[in-house]
Chains A and B, each alone.
Chain A
Amino acid sequence: MKKYAIIGPFILIIVWAVISRCQLVDAFFLPGPITTISKLLELIKSGVIIDDLVSTLGRVGLSFVIALIIGLPLGLILGMSEKIYRSVEFIIDFFRSTPATALFPLFLLIFGVTDKSKIAVAAFASTIIIIFNTAYGVMHAKKSRILAAKIMGANRAQIFYWILFWESLPQTFIGLRSAISLSLVIVIVTEMFIGTPFGLGKMINDSQIIYEISTMYAIILLVGAIGYLLNLLLILIEGKTIHWRGR
């Protein structure tokens, strides 16, 4: 299966090359893949984007960890009782459907124009996603397994940490993957529009303003690659943890 994974990037680059070679879009506004990739390599080699890369990764990592610490236990608790989940379902679905970045002014008021507000808004949106998926994982646990444990005389706590927690894991990982991508997106957007000394989002915005279009696309390419790698990392962890998936 792994060798098929190469097809996706291949298609993307071919389409991109064809568009730029046929000049369907002005080359100034959409440089070709070779120009862009060599620009990216140049940026990495010269080291000018290291600080930006580290800052952005730091923000994404921190917001994801915060979301995990808050979202996972909350999701598990809410999923335990359908009554409790239904009573807060509106809040979860409401914020799941609202663009978190639109709430940014509110976060600025609370956390000030600092890194904290960027991290907080990304963590907030990710937390909602993790809660939603984890709770669903718990609620859709196989009734036969819970029943079997009940018949054996298991108490609520035992059912929770021997059955429900494990049952929820596959769905939880779907949530984690969505959450880490969302964290990345929100961190980049806030860096672009709020400003920061360092950050890939700021670099995208800056190169846009000074018409450094190839730099802009180089960074966009890098962000996409980071998102892909973060997902890949979670898939690897998932594969190790949930060895029973689909069996």
Chain B
Amino acid sequence: MDTIITVKNLKKSFKDTEVFKDFSIDFLRGKITAIFGPNGSGKSTLLDILAGIVPKDGGEFEIKDFDSFTFSYIFQNYRDSLLPWRNNFKNVALPLQIQKKSNEEIEKKVTELQALFEFQFDWRRYPYELSGGQQQILAFMRALVTNPKVLFIDEPFSALDYENNLRLRKYLQKYFLKYKPTVLLVTHNIEEAVHLADKIIVFSQKPTKVVQIIENSLPCPRTLDSLKTEHFKLIKDSVLCAFQKSISI
């Protein structure tokens, strides 16, 4: 299998708290990996270190052929990262503008993505006129408009109601199946993890260790009906067991 992200003997502490101590892990190209674990288990910290936002204390990591133009990161506080002075269209267009793409190309990309998301935005309106769920979809469209090869998502659905949550998962799955990016998805929700991911990695409490790696063989695309199957429940249960271990360590 083709590894795209490698982490070797990573070290990281905040003041007196050791988050990572000789932590190693690999992520496969074109796969969706969910990272699941107790609060404060260094899930977000790992993404931040890999994205270059937070410096490591030691060890090594590599994202093969890393290029910030083909990398996207959707933060937990997505609402704060949308720009209220730009209308909805210009918010989605921003990453392409940064890449100095032509207006026609931007138009084409956004239309393409909009078709996939089945979502009709009034492009001339502003993000603050949208509901929380719509803002979240806008933030996702902004992150996906560049067709990133590597995508980090931190707690994407935590602020959404269940209906919007399911809707967004459906769009994402469609997008993932079409474009096959490498995705690292940090989540607090087992159902989300099992619904979307090819592989679920369960983290322990600090200092972080990998408690278990669970392969998710549930066939794609996964619909609402897949959530009701025995197979789904089985995988969900094994994640839960691993989680149980992680909080009793």
Contact = CB atoms under 8 A, between A and B. Distances in A.
Nearest to A241: B85
Nearest to A147: B53
Contacts of A154: 98
A162 B94 contact: yes
Given A147-B53, A166-B83, A244-B128, A153 B99 contact: yes
B75 A144 contact: yes
A244 B84 contact: yes
Nearest to B100: A158
Contacts of B80: 142, 144-145
Contacts of B94: 149, 152, 162
Question: Which of B67, B69, B80, B126 has the most C-beta atoms of chain A within 10 angstroms of its own C-beta?
Answer: B80
Contacts, number: 56
A169 B84 CA distance: 12
Contacts of A242: 85
Interface residues of B, number: 23
Interface residues of A, number: 19
Nearest to A146: B81
A244 B83 CA distance: 9
Nearest to B83: A145
A148 B146 CA distance: 14
A247 B98 contact: no
B95 interface: yes
Question: Which of A152, A154, A163 has the most C-beta atoms of chain B within 10 angstroms of its own C-beta?
Answer: A152
B69 A153 contact: yes
Question: Which of A142, A166, A244 has the most C-beta atoms of chain B within 10 angstroms of its own C-beta?
Answer: A244
Interface string B82-117: 011100000000110111000000000000000000
B71 interface: yes
Interface string A152-173: 1110001000110010010000
B72 interface: yes
B98 A151 contact: no
Given A144-B75, A151-B68, A153-B68, A243 B81 contact: no
B51 interface: yes
Given A152-B94, A152-B95, A144 B85 contact: no
Contacts of A151: 51, 53, 68, 71-73
Contact of B81 (A145, A153, A158): A145
A152 B100 CA distance: 12
Given A151-B71, A153-B68, A153-B98, A144 B83 contact: no
Interface string A222-247: 00000000000000000000111001
A175 B221 CA distance: 55
Nearest to B51: A151
Question: Which of B68, B69, B84 has the most C-beta atoms of chain A within 10 angstroms of its own C-beta?
Answer: B84
A144 B84 contact: no
Contacts of B53: 147, 151
A46 B240 CA distance: 88
Nearest to B53: A147
A163 B83 contact: yes
15 contacts: A144-B77, A145-B80, A147-B53, A148-B73, A149-B98, A151-B51, A151-B68, A151-B72, A152-B72, A152-B94, A153-B67, A166-B85, A244-B84, A244-B126, A247-B84
Given A166-B83, A243-B126, 12 more contacts: A144-B75, A144-B77, A148-B73, A148-B81, A149-B94, A151-B71, A151-B73, A152-B72, A153-B95, A162-B83, A169-B85, A244-B85
Which 7 residue pairs are nearest across A and B when measured between Cβ atoms? A153-B68, A244-B84, A247-B128, A148-B81, A144-B80, A152-B95, A166-B85
